[in-house]
Amino acid sequence: MQPPAAGTLRVLHLSDTHLTGDGTLHQGSVDTTAALEGVLARADGVPGVGLVVVSGDVSGDGSPESYAAVVERVGGWAGRHGAALVTVPGNHDLREGFRQVLANGHVLGEGGRPLMHTMEHHPPTVPVAGQSLVAGRRIVTVDTSVPGAGYGEIAEASLERLRAALAGDHAPHGTVVVLHHPPLPAPTALHDALRLRNPGALADVIRGSDVRVVLAGHYHHHFAGSLAGVPVLVAPGVANDTDVTGPYEEESAYVDAGALVVDLAEDGSVWSTPIRVPRPDADPLAFALDADTVTRVIEASTGR
Ligand SMILES: [Fe+2]
């Protein structure tokens, strides 16, 4: 791949790694540790990465061991490549385990140097929040997870933090917002039930701001859209790839892994190159849920 142009921040955008502490297979079919290692090995061929992002569902079980595995593998990759590492919780993450290992999610700073965090205790009801500066860009993470639920919602406190961050010290080359649930339409009934419930509130905060791009995950498929004129990029899942062409009421996924390489130029231009890491050795179908099963999963994860 071509190296990034001078002054450009190149981001390796991963999402939905769903790592497990004990090696349990995701949906009973995918070894997510192996999938992640495959993506990272492929990403060795991407030059000039300055920031690695994991936009939620970092863990599949919320265990401290699963987060330690992320630090070891993704943090190790970022450290070797001199890149920062930023993560944010998704609906499968547990804030307690996340904070215990990843603190506020801003794990490595510019150049891959460990960031120091003061030990603060927060109950799991308090959203994880953080920001850091990488190559003149303000990286702000917004926790869209709702404890015990699969859908996403940005709490008023998190919106206020984002507002305050955007009103704070000038970031020379603008802001990158990282969150899990995309503020974009969902491809299936299941994902629609688990969508971000207040995208309009986010739109109101970022409209007219210096936010250059919103990086999200959750849909396990690559999508690109915009919110309040700001590009929104949804990374493909590391764990599997949602079948967006299947019947709307059903949910199935293929064994496939990928990531985005997102280049952020100094003038605010954004471009994204999806990379795909096929798993020819694997059974192609990761899982398939019929409409009745999807209805039961929706009820269990939304309280409906
Ligand atoms: Fe998710």
Q: What is the mean pLDDT of each run of 10 residues along the chain (304 residues)?
A: 96 98 89 95 98 98 97 98 98 97 97 89 95 97 97 98 94 97 97 98 97 98 98 97 96 95 96 90 85 94 82
* CA 210 to centroid of ligand 1, rounded, Å: 27
Query: What pLDDT was estimated at residue 303?
Result: 80
Tokens of 26: 């995701």
Q: 35-67 b/e with 16+ CB inside 10 Å = b? A: bbbbbbebbeebebbbbbbbbbbbbbbbbbebb
Which of 47, 33, 90, 61 is CA-nearest to residue 238? 33
d(CA 14, CA 35): 12
What's the DSSP call for residue 111?
G
* CA 218 to centroid of ligand 1, rounded, Å: 4
Query: What pLDDT was estimated at residue 10?
Result: 98
* CA 117 to centroid of ligand 1, rounded, Å: 26
* CA 90 to centroid of ligand 1, rounded, Å: 5
Query: What pLDDT was estimated at residue 30?
Result: 87
| Residues forming a β-bridge with 216 | 234
Amino acid, single-letter form, for residue 260: L
Which of 18, 14, 15 is CA-nearest to residue 46? 14
* CA 267 to centroid of ligand 1, rounded, Å: 32
- Beta sheet of 285-289, edge-to-edge order: 241-242, 251-254, 285-289
Q: HSE (CB half, 13 Å, CA atoms) of 43?
A: 34
d(CA 10, CA 1): 12
d(CA 213, CA 54): 15
Query: What pLDDT was estimated at residue 281?
Result: 73
Integer angstrom CA distances of residue 79 from 7, 130, 224, 269: 20, 20, 29, 27
Which of 226, 233, 48 is CA-nearest to residue 135? 48
Query: What pLDDT was estimated at residue 240?
Result: 93
pTM above 0.85, yes or no: yes
* CA 80 to centroid of ligand 1, rounded, Å: 28
For 276, the enclosing helix (H) or strand (E) is strand 270-277
